């Protein structure tokens, strides 16, 4: 297993190009199952999860062709299987996103149950209940979800709690269904909107994406399309926090500035000077230490749970006290014990972390436990005194492309140690 060795103290300066969004490219790739025609996706990020998703689709018999850097062609006109093995689902729980499109297009799907992960139980009951409401026959046995349906029928279905991939799975199931599907209490994340726009570019009739009520009018078939994946707002937010935590000045390029409004506001509260361009944002901390900012996560457009760990790192070195409340996942503070090894001062009480900012974190050997916790450890290491060795970095490679290259180009002292 690779490790990252980071020496703290560098002040990050420069520009970084932000890649396509991991949490958009995965549903978009699943949606290529919905047509027999060629789909070309560009702005694809170079991530381990994309490699897993290509393996998943290839396993169904989808023809996948990497044409040039960051562009891939898919054609699902000759599927040989509707089964997603436990091996692939274990590697990437987002494989569950194949369920809706396979059922809609092939009338059958067999997907291994994604287990929980370190951040929570991650059940998929809402996905299954929604498909049942559309007329699917679903059994769960021997660790597999087995779904069958001659033709799904649109209905009205309300989701509690808000679920991003649940909304995406049911949207994909509905585009070829009979009649109209109404999704209530739908997720409003930008990645849900990106999927709706992609489906409509393929000839679907989806309206209301980005609001809590999405309507899908089923159509007979979808056609091929060329489409660019939306920018990754979480990668961008992570580099913006990297500027703030090191007292530096970093500009993130090729972003959708609207998707980063709340992150930008929080960084201004933390004391950064922020300049917003048409498709770029510059965060300039001017050598200052951060001011503490209170955080409470919630579904979009509120503060994203995927940025909670990053802001916890920032608060750990702020000049004052703050609270970080995680309302989406039940166990998303695995980065706290690792920060404590670096001499942070954090008290955990259920879903609330109370942080007392310290003058210095101290380098240590720490473990990455999940994707965003890994990002937290990298941010903490950038500003800690001395060296930090981060183990289990396969977690970080799932969601951040070429992280040591991008951080190195901003002046960080970071290198990957190959096991
Ligand atoms: C998506 O996960 C993202 N992953 C996550 O990003 C992100 O943290 C999460 O949405 C919340 O924004 C992808 O898009 C691939 P949820 P998802 O269903 O869809 C409960 C990252 O770091 N729930 O919105 O799996 C669930 O337990 C990853 O990039 C049910 O109870 O999350 C949780 O408490 C991590 N039943 C809440 O809903 C269900 O059937 C929100 O989960 C589904 C979800």
Q: Does the pLDDT of residue 116 top 90, yes or no? A: no
Q: Which atom of ligand 1 is nearest to the CA of 234?
A: 29
Buried b (16+ CB within 10 A) or exposed e, 320-341: eebbbbbbbbeebbbbbebbeb
State the pLDDT at residue 68.
85
Q: How confident is the model at residue 76 (pLDDT cuts 50, 70, 90)?
A: very high
The answer to whether 188 is a known catalytic residue is no
Mean pLDDT of 165-192: 98
State the pLDDT at residue 118.
83
Counting residues of the chain whose pLDDT is more than 90, the rounded percentage is 95
Ligand 1: residue whose CA is nearest its atom 28: 306
Q: How confident is the model at residue 419 (pLDDT cuts 50, 70, 90)?
A: confident
Q: How far is CA 349 from CA 299, 330, 334, 339, in A?
A: 22, 12, 13, 16
Residues 291, 315 contacting (CB under 8 angstroms)? no
Residue located via tokens 């001062």: 345
Q: Give the helix ranges, DSSP H, for 134-232.
A: 164-174, 190-201
165 CA to middle of ligand 1, Å?
Answer: 6
372 CA to middle of ligand 1, Å?
Answer: 13
Q: Which atom of ligand 1 is nearest to the CA of 129?
A: 40
Residue closest to 22 by CA, chosen among 414, 401, 416: 401
State the pLDDT at residue 92.
92
64: which 2 tokens?
Answer: 């996948």
Q: How far is CA 297 from CA 233, 240, 304, 312, 385, in A?
A: 15, 18, 6, 12, 30
189 CA to middle of ligand 1, Å?
Answer: 11
CB-based contacts of 354, cutoff 8 Å, min separation 6: 321, 322, 323, 346, 347
Tell me if 373 CB under 6 Å of ligand 1. no
Tell me if 95 CB under 6 Å of ligand 1. no
Q: How far is CA 128 from CA 9, 187, 205, 389, in A?
A: 49, 17, 23, 41
Q: Which of 65, 117, 188, 352 is catalytic?
A: 117
- Cα(181)–Cα(71) distance, rounded to whole angstroms? 32
- Cα(284)–Cα(145) distance, rounded to whole angstroms? 49
Mean pLDDT of 119-148: 96
For residue 147, which phi and psi values (nearest 5 degrees)?
A: -120, 140
Mean pLDDT of 42-56: 96
Tell me if 314 CB under 6 Å of ligand 1. no
Mean pLDDT of 347-355: 97
Question: Is the previous residue joined to 301 through a cis bond, with omega within 30 degrees of 0?
Answer: yes
CB-based contacts of 142, cutoff 8 Å, min separation 6: none
Q: Does the pLDDT of residue 191 top 90, yes or no? A: yes
For residue 232, which phi and psi values (nearest 5 degrees)?
A: -85, 105
Q: Does the pLDDT of residue 156 top 90, yes or no? A: yes
CB-based contacts of 126, cutoff 8 Å, min separation 6: 159, 160, 163, 166
Which of 87-96, 102-111, 221-230 is least confident? 87-96
State the pLDDT at residue 304.
98
Ligand 1: residue whose CA is nearest its atom 10: 164
164 CA to middle of ligand 1, Å?
Answer: 6
Q: How confident is the model at residue 262 (pLDDT cuts 50, 70, 90)?
A: very high
Mean pLDDT of 390-413: 96
* pLDDT tens track for 266-286: 999 999 999 999 999 999 999
Chain mean pLDDT for the chain = 97
* pLDDT tens track for 297-338: 999 999 999 999 999 999 999 999 999 999 999 999 999 999
More confident residue, 102 or 90: 102
Q: Which atom of ligand 1 is nearest to the CA of 122?
A: 27
Residue located via tokens 């729980």: 93
Residue closest to 285 by CA, chosen among 236, 255, 245: 245
Helix (H, G, I), strand (E, B) or coil at 204: coil
More confident residue, 369 or 34: 34
Tell me if 27 CB under 6 Å of ligand 1. no
Strands 273-276 and 295-296: unpaired
* pLDDT tens track for 356-385: 999 999 999 999 999 999 999 999 999 999
Residue located via tokens 């709706």: 196
State the pLDDT at residue 69.
85
Task: Write out the H or E segment, with its range, that includes residue 207.
Answer: strand 205-207
Tell me if 369 CB under 6 Å of ligand 1. no
More confident residue, 149 or 118: 149
Tell me if 176 CB under 6 Å of ligand 1. no
Q: Does the pLDDT of residue 187 top 80, yes or no? A: yes
More confident residue, 69 or 401: 401
Mean pLDDT of 385-412: 96
Tell me if 116 CB under 6 Å of ligand 1. no
């Amino acid at each position: 297993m690779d490790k990252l060795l980071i020496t703290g103290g560098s002040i990050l300066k420069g520009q970084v190009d932000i890649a396509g969004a991991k949490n958009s490219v995965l549903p978009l790739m699943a949606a290529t199952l919905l047509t027999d025609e060629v789909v070309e996706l560009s702005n694809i990020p170079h991530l381990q999860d994309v490699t897993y998703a290509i393996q998943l689709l290839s396993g169904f018999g989808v023809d996948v062709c990497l044409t040039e850097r960051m562009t891939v062609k898919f054609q699902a006109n000759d599927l040989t299987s509707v089964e997603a093995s436990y091996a692939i689902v274990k590697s990437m729980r987002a494989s569950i996103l194949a369920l809706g499109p396979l059922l809609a297009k092939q009338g059958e799907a067999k997907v291994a149950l994604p287990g929980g992960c370190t951040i929570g139980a991650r059940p998929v009951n809402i996905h299954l209940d929604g498909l049942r409401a559309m007329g699917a026959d679903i059994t769960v046995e021997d660790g597999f979800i087995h779904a069958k349906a001659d033709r799904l029928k649109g209905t009205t279905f309300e989701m509690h709690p808000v679920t991003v991939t649940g909304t995406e799975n049911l949207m994909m199931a509905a585009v070829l269904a009979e009649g109209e599907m109404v999704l209530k209490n739908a997720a409003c994340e930008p990645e849900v909107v990106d999927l709706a726009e992609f489906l409509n570019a393929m000839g679907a009739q989806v309206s209301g994406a980005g609001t809590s009520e999405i309507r899908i009018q089923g159509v007979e078939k979808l056609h091929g399309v060329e489409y660019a994946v939306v920018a990754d707002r979480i990668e961008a937010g992570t580099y913006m926090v990297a500027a703030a935590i090191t007292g530096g000045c970093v500009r993130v390029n090729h972003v959708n500035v609207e998707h980063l409004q709340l992150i930008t506001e929080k960084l201004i509260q933390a004391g950064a000077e922020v300049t917003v361009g048409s498709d770029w944002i510059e965060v300039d901390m001017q050598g200052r230490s951060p001011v503490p900012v209170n955080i409470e996560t919630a579904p979009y457009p509120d503060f994203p749970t995927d940025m909670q760990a990053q802001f916890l790192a920032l608060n750990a070195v702020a000049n004052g006290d703050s609270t970080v409340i995680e309302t989406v996942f039940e166990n998303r503070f695995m980065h706290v014990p690792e920060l404590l090894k670096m001499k942070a001062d954090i008290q955990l009480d259920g879903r609330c972390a109370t942080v007392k900012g310290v003058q210095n974190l101290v380098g240590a050997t720490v473990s990455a436990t999940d994707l965003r916790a890994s990002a937290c450890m990298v941010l903490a290491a950038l500003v800690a005194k001395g060296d930090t060795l981060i183990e289990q970095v396969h977690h970080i490679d799932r969601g951040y492309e070429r992280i040591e290259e991008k951080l190195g180009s901003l002046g960080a002292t970071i290198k990957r140690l190959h096991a």
